């Protein structure tokens, strides 16, 4: 038995196929989704989605954020911005990280919304750079 994985971006359905296990980057930490997982809705932080068939990773995607809905039989990922890890450019990722860090440093910690957005961006940029080093 496998989980029916669906990855959807606002512009199109990117992928729909069964997978033995999916590791998704939840805001509270990575989650391994196996069949018969309890129903769950979570937001995603910037990080890598790993799709397992058996014991091996078949696909890796970098997602900048989004949401995932999990039920016993399926796992739906609503991604903000998604890209195959193989297509990521390490130099670009480093530049993104530097920029996010600069914005983060200037953000007023008392402005809750702005602070949240800046820290989300920083985490996403870190995740991107991390993803490029684990192609």
Residues that bind another protein (CB under 8 A): 6, 8-13, 26-28, 38-43, 67, 69, 71, 76, 78, 80, 113
- Shortest Å distance, C-beta 44 to another protein: 10
State which residue, 8 or 57, has the beta carbon closest to another protein: 8
State which residue, 35 or 57, has the beta carbon closest to another protein: 35
According to DSSP, residue 120 is labeled: H
State which residue, 77 or 93, has the beta carbon closest to another protein: 77
Helices and strands, number each (H, E), in the chain = 2, 10
- Shortest Å distance, C-beta 133 to another protein: 27
Please, which residues have CB within 8 angstroms of residue 59's CB and are 6 or more apart in sequence?
15, 49, 50, 51, 84
- Shortest Å distance, C-beta 55 to another protein: 26
Whole-angstrom Cα distance, residue 30 to residue 97?
A: 21
Whole-angstrom Cα distance, residue 6 to residue 98?
A: 32
- Shortest Å distance, C-beta 10 to another protein: 4
């Amino acid at each position: 038995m496998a989980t029916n994985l669906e990855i959807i971006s606002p512009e199109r359905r990117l992928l729909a196929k069964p997978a033995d296990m999916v590791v998704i980057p939840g805001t509270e930490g990575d989650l391994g989704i196996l069949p018969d997982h309890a129903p769950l809705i979570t937001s995603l932080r910037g990080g890598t989605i790993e799709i397992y068939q058996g014991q091996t990773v078949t696909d890796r995607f970098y997602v900048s954020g989004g949401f995932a809905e999990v039920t016993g039989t399926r796992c739906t990922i609503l991604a903000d911005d998604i890209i195959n890890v193989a297509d990521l450019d390490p130099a670009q990722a480093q530049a993104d990280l530097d920029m996010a860090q600069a914005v983060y440093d200037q953000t007023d910690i008392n402005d809750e919304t702005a602070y949240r957005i800046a820290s989300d961006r920083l985490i996403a940029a870190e995740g991107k750079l991390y993803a490029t080093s684990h192609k």
